[in-house]
Homo-oligomer: A and B are copies of this chain.
Amino acid sequence: MATIKDIASKLGISVSAVSKSMNGASDISEELRQLVLDTAVEMGYSTKRSRKKENRKLALFIENMEYESTGDFGYDIVLGFKQSAFKGNWDVDVIPVTPTFQLENKYDTYLLSQGYSGAFIVGFALQDDWMKQFVSTTMPTVLFDNSIKHNPNTSYIGTDNYEGIDEAIDHLYKLGHTKIAFLNGSLHSMVSEQRQEAFLQGMKNHGLKVDKKLLAYGYYVADSARYHVPAFLENGATAIMCGNDLIASGVVEECKHKGLRVPEDISVIGFDDIPIASEMTPGLTTVNQNRSELGKGGYMILTSLISGIAISKSLLRPKLIVRGSTASVK
């Protein structure tokens, strides 16, 4: 576990500056204080700081998502949530769950018995047992990329898929592409549905025709590509938009396998901006989801629910990151 000395050494400042920052001393700038607190959480520093209230505890339940290493999709979501909670004087327990765990524990009862004031739900699937329980939960509950209708104790946070896909299409449009294919992720996922609708709307916004032969659902894995890319190419696609970066990495490989050059012969765009996007050759043009902000925003919305502000939905801005996988149409 990190000590104050470790933090000071990592940041290259004195131990007393770290200590003062932690205690909110008035001669420390706000920027430095925030940096020290962020770093402390990132390094696993923990202390029983004096708290006015007992039981200031939040739960972060996570499933179907890696989060323990820096390259994992969930890493920055979890870290951002913990960093914000630390500043707000809340303890956070990160609890990996399984379908069995959900069947064995009633959601509300579990939170109450463990003294949690609310929870952040990450990576759950529509068929999970707790998803049914969220419809009537009385506990403040924020869900990443899942939405519960009509229950004011729940809230949905995610990235604005509509704006993200629209920016991607706009980029391809300006490069002269008109025959744009879309290889989406899995059916029966809220996010896939939104990205599908966003693609149709984005094409319409740019006066482009959607060819049904250039539309397909796959799964959120690289292997999806080889089932759909051949048909896209036969039907004249000059660019392929993908449901996420993993799919896009498979699409790039499949195109190369078919003897095509990316981006000279075909442009490819991903979604998420996970580490492989910048590590691939060529680098992948993609729609960035800011996962640290998703975690911080999740905390903020959760504390709003706890204080009685019934926000049902919050979306973060996506950001198109242009790298080497897109170019002007031939």
Contacts and interface: CB of A to CB of B under 8 A. Distances in A.
Interface of A: 26, 30, 52-53, 149-150, 152, 160, 163, 167, 290, 293, 296-297, 300, 304, 308-317, 319
Contact of A311 (B167, B308, B315): B315
Contacts of A309: 293, 296-297, 300, 316
A50 to B, nearest CB: 10
Given A167-B150, A300-B300, A304-B300, A313 B160 contact: yes
Given A52-B26, A163-B149, A312 B304 contact: no
A296 B311 CA distance: 11
8 contacts: A30-B53, A150-B167, A297-B309, A300-B300, A311-B315, A312-B317, A313-B313, A313-B314
A88 to B, nearest CB: 12
A304 B152 CA distance: 21
A300 B152 CA distance: 18
Chain B CB within 10 A, most for which of A52, A304, A308, A314: A314
A312 B26 contact: no
Nearest to A300: B304
Given A26-B52, A52-B26, A53-B30, A313 B311 contact: no
